[in-house]
Chains A and B, each alone.
Chain A
Amino acid sequence: MSYIGKPKVTHPGIRRNKLGLTPRDYEGTVSTLCAGCGHDSVTAAIIQAVFELDIEPHMLAKMSGIGCSSKTPAYFVSQSHGFNSVHGRMPSVTTGANAANRDLTYIGVSGDGDSLSIGVGQFVHAIRRNLNMCYIIENNGVYGLTKGQFSASADIGSKPKKGEPNRQEPIDPVSTALSLGASYIARSFSGDKEQLVPLIQGALKHPGFALVDVISPCVTFNDHEGSTKSYKHTRQFYHHVVDMDYIPPAKEIRAAYDEGDAMPVELHDGSRIVLRKVDKSYDPTSRAKAFKYLREQFNAGEITTGLLYLDEERPEMHELMGNTDTPLSKLPYESLHPGAEELRKILSGYA
């Protein structure tokens, strides 16, 4: 196995973003995942999303837990700091990191085991704090890295390669996040880059907790007949209800949208998210209606995808706490203590 970066050959005419960087500048080390693993497609989508958003690599922080999915931050943007923490605990590390420096863009990559089994507590509480981050779950219904045991997102009746079908209720990250009040909730499929890239971009830009649940098949342990997280099954049953486009600041809305179906939402930096309803009956701003719709589709065996819920108003963690705009890690030490004379005064209260 080699961990040497790919040779960076630049071709004339290659695409450059506003920073003058090419997509290659957003790559990482060579993936060591199984050929065909859904996670690699998500990595590619992340690279494209970050490149197109003109994010300075060193202003991005890549966070993860443990699992095949959690390895992937090594495979994108090698000029960013990465933090591969412990199993299921990425949210707390990101919470602390964000508390210390609110100026960075945080992308967390997790697995269904990492976020819904061992780490469900931290996942839930990061949502509750409305931690400002893009939280991607690469959801394959199994623990890939420990060789294919069911995770908490396995569907009832889903068959493993060996052994008995799953009989327990799955934990659906989307409806869980919806019930907890997450402010940006999306679902997509690793095989649908066109839908996925803008969803990740919106999530990176959204000021608060943004969940992107990506069905990302495990070709080695959960891609067989009878699995509900296989490529085949996902392709057959997934459908878009709300697609979205991310439109950077000062850029015109070019695409033609059908009146009544398009819903532009302006973000704090002047960029916009345009929601395109594929199913006109769907309302991505109502938690109750979204929940009902998702549940009905789920019961019918359908996989609903798109930007499923959005609330740009909810204050994120720092705002909720009333914290200063300056990253706490950058405050000058002199401003952090009141000095010797004041200590004397404080202590005189103990005499």
Chain B
Amino acid sequence: MGKTNDVVIKIATVNGTGSASANGLLRKAIFRMGVPVVGKNYFPSNIQGLPTWYEIRVTGDGYQARSDRLDIMVAMNAQTYAQDLAEVSPGGWLIYDSTWPRSKLLDRDDISVFGVPLSRMCNENFDGARARILMKNIAYVGVVAALLDLDLDIITTLLEETFGDKRQLIDSNMQAIRLGYDYAHAHFSCPLPMRVEALDKTRGHIVIDGNTAAGLGCMYAGATVGAWYPITPSTSLMDSFHAFCRKYRVEPETGKRTFCVIQAEDELAAIGMVLGASWNGARAFTPTSGPGISLMSEFLGLAYYAEIPAVVFDVQRTGPSTGMPTRTQQSDILSCAYASHGDTKHVLLFPADPGECFSMAVQSFDFAERLQTPVLVLSDLDIGMNDWMIPAFEWDDGYVPDRGKVLGAEDLEKMEKFYRYLDVDGDGIPYRTLPGVHPKGSYFTRGSGHTKYGNYTEDASAYQDVVDRLLVKWETARGLLPKADIRYSRFNSAAVLTVGSGNAACVEALDRLAAQDVNLNYCRVRAFPFGDDVREFIAKHDVVYIVEQNRDAQLRTLLMLDIDAEPAKLVSLLHYNGIPLNAGFVVDGVLDAIQRGQAA
């Protein structure tokens, strides 16, 4: 059961009815009270008329994962009453619109059910069908505000920020909120024991989703070409880049754009455009999700072999096939790592939250250009489309993009002859040239067999020379990429290892396990190929619980393939129903494994 500053509220509505702004208002009000908060969307793959939920976790301890409890359900959708009622944790509350009483339907003796005649009140106070529906969806904010003791002045300020000088809108919204607020005060004992009490824990923080942050990162990284084909849940990444560019990438004198966003005809074309642009010296990227990765595979192999930089964001969703487009998963790990036929492997980055979406967006271009290879940033729907509270990220004005080994006109002028695929420096990374710079820089980019001089070949050893040198580059990448997030609590023989959005739930689970005297070390991988730090970490432990959000233990497989991790000590905890991971799953999984004697 919840307590002060530890409350989970879920609002059940119908999509397309404007509830998003009401939910955002609640989440922001709590944040402005200085109390850490997380917001998660559960929405259908549909535009209008289907059930949708928003979950707000008030977490004074600052945890970021979904909770495994539900304290207050605001059931605004009669279609889902039964399901919503069942979901409330014992001792919790359910609020519903009692304009149409449903005491029989909403009956559970271990929770409290509050009816508030929201529709009736709004019909009496507002004119017009549209206004009445919208206001009903704002009025519940007042009810929740009363129950949780939220600061009405803060809510007013937020409305003012949203509506600016549209006084009438502010007033009518506030009036609706007041209706709910006053009704709750008159009929229930407000606030509930699990209230929100002002803290000072959100200063310097922001609430943002990963796609917005990644799009912003691409703008700051100096990306000029973005190509994409719309797909949930990656669409808002390009929307973000596009919006920031329209603001910051327009030449003041001419009104002309210094960016080019191309909506491609499909993902094959999107990645083709990225390769063409990168080959030609622009920072270019494409956001997509699993189905797009499948289509991009052939081109990714070309980029690997012909050594062309490319940045791809895969905001993963639930597969296989079309799967559940609006649910989360980490099930593209293997298909991204080895996308394309032949001996092909790709650099992957794994952001764990929107802050890393921003920083890794910038880094991905540096790595892609330094390593002259595709870099795939594996986010997921949970990170990309949910509202995370994170420290406000910063920009270093001293940042200089790493454009990698690119020869200029002067370098070429001095050279006897330029050869594209020679390993001059011994790090497996050759030098490249850009078109339009110098006739001596010309070479023929091809996905067919080539020698280290860049010529076509079908010669056995000349071919092998180049693919072997690519392995040298692979090892260079291993040393260059971000280190894992490794935490030792004290000397433990067992550990938890996870990736990406698994971080939030695992960190919370480790605290809970420690409270039960089960102490585990922790490793969160940030990149593939895995560094020596990961290899050593696994070697040090007898048991490593691999927590990941897919059915087939893809991260575990990758650890075995890339760094020969010993399968016997890698115990999988797999979560793959499409709902974001929570700490309870990890805690139960670990305790269960220990009980089954899997811990040495």
Q: Which residues of A contact B (CB under 8 A)?
A: 3, 56-59, 61, 63, 73-74, 78-86, 89, 91-101, 103-104, 121-122, 124-125, 129, 318, 321-331, 333, 335-340, 342-344, 346-347, 350-351
A337 neighbours in B (Cβ, 8 Å): 219-222, 248, 395
Apart from A57-B442, A122-B268, A323-B256, 10 more pairs, CB < 8 Å: A63-B276, A96-B227, A96-B272, A96-B275, A96-B278, A96-B282, A99-B277, A329-B280, A336-B224, A343-B395
A58-B435, A83-B445, A339-B395 known; A101+B456 contact, CB < 8 A: no
Beta-carbon nearest neighbor of B284 in chain A: A96
Q: Provide the bound-state CA to CA distance between A344 and B393, in Å.
A: 8
Q: In the complex the two chains form, is B275's CB within 8 Å of A93's CB?
A: yes
B445 neighbours in A (Cβ, 8 Å): 81-85
Contact of A100 among B280, B298, B396, B444 (CB under 8 A): B280
Q: In the complex the two chains form, is B276's CB within 8 Å of A100's CB?
A: yes
A99-B260, A100-B277, A340-B394 known; A86+B222 contact, CB < 8 A: no
Q: In the complex the two chains form, is B276's CB within 8 Å of A329's CB?
A: no
Q: Show 29 residue pairs from A and B whose CB-CB distance is below 8 angstroms, ordered by the A residue.
A: A61-B436, A79-B440, A80-B442, A81-B434, A81-B442, A85-B299, A89-B272, A89-B298, A92-B273, A95-B262, A96-B275, A97-B276, A99-B273, A100-B277, A100-B278, A122-B265, A125-B264, A125-B265, A323-B260, A328-B259, A328-B260, A329-B282, A335-B258, A337-B248, A339-B397, A342-B248, A343-B395, A346-B216, A351-B392
Name the interface residues of B248-266: CB closer than 8 Å to any CB of A. Answer: 248-249, 251, 254-260, 262, 264-266
Least Cβ–Cβ distance between A75 and chain B, in angstroms: 11
Q: Provide the bound-state CA to CA distance between A318 and B434, in Å.
A: 21
Q: In the complex the two chains form, is A328's CB within 8 Å of B446's CB?
A: no
Contact of B284 among A59, A86, A100 (CB under 8 A): A100
B31 neighbours in A (Cβ, 8 Å): 351
Contact of B395 among A101, A121, A340 (CB under 8 A): A340
Q: Provide the bound-state CA to CA distance between A101 and B281, in Å.
A: 8
Q: In the complex the two chains form, is A103's CB within 8 Å of B436's CB?
A: yes
Q: Provide the bound-state CA to CA distance between A337 and B433, in Å.
A: 25
A350 neighbours in B (Cβ, 8 Å): 206-208, 392
Q: In the complex the two chains form, is B216's CB within 8 Å of A82's CB?
A: no
Q: In the complex the two chains form, is A336's CB within 8 Å of B258's CB?
A: yes
Q: In the complex the two chains form, is A58's CB within 8 Å of B439's CB?
A: yes
Please indicate which of the listed interface residues B225, B249, B265, B299 has the most CB atoms of chain A within 10 Å of its own CB.
Answer: B265
A56 neighbours in B (Cβ, 8 Å): 439
A58-B435, A324-B256, A328-B225 known; A97+B456 contact, CB < 8 A: no
Q: In the complex the two chains form, is A96's CB within 8 Å of B276's CB?
A: yes
Q: Provide the bound-state CA to CA distance between A242 and B247, in Å.
A: 48
Least Cβ–Cβ distance between A313 and chain B, in angstroms: 20
Least Cβ–Cβ distance between B392 and chain A, in angstroms: 5
Beta-carbon nearest neighbor of A329 in chain B: B281
Q: In the complex the two chains form, is B258's CB within 8 Å of A324's CB?
A: yes
Q: Provide the bound-state CA to CA distance between A79 and B400, in Å.
A: 31
Name the prevailing secondary structure of the B interface residues: mixed
Q: Provide the bound-state CA to CA distance between A331 and B403, in Å.
A: 13
A86-B299, A92-B276, A336-B249 known; A329+B434 contact, CB < 8 A: yes
Least Cβ–Cβ distance between A324 and chain B, in angstroms: 4
Q: Provide the bound-state CA to CA distance between A86 and B304, in Å.
A: 13
B221 neighbours in A (Cβ, 8 Å): 337
Check if B302 is an interface residue, CB within 8 A of chain A: yes
Q: Provide the bound-state CA to CA distance between A84 and B270, in Å.
A: 17
Q: In the complex the two chains form, is A85's CB within 8 Å of B272's CB?
A: yes
Please indicate which of the listed interface residues A92, A125, A344 has the most CB atoms of chain B within 10 Å of its own CB.
Answer: A92
Least Cβ–Cβ distance between B159 and chain A, in angstroms: 15
Least Cβ–Cβ distance between B198 and chain A, in angstroms: 16
Q: Provide the bound-state CA to CA distance between A322 and B280, in Å.
A: 20
B220 neighbours in A (Cβ, 8 Å): 337, 343
A121-B266, A321-B260 known; A86+B227 contact, CB < 8 A: no
Least Cβ–Cβ distance between B268 and chain A, in angstroms: 6
Contact of A347 among B393, B397, B456 (CB under 8 A): B393
A92-B273, A347-B206 known; A81+B262 contact, CB < 8 A: no
Residue-wise, chain B 188-212 has the 8 Å CB interface mask toward A (1 for contact) of: 0000000000000010011110000
Q: In the complex the two chains form, is A99's CB within 8 Å of B257's CB?
A: no
Check if B455 is an interface residue, CB within 8 A of chain A: yes
Q: In the complex the two chains form, is B448's CB within 8 Å of A97's CB?
A: no
Q: Provide the bound-state CA to CA distance between A3 and B256, in Å.
A: 45
B302 neighbours in A (Cβ, 8 Å): 85-86
Check if B441 is an interface residue, CB within 8 A of chain A: yes
Q: In the complex the two chains form, is B248's CB within 8 Å of A331's CB?
A: no
A57 neighbours in B (Cβ, 8 Å): 439, 442
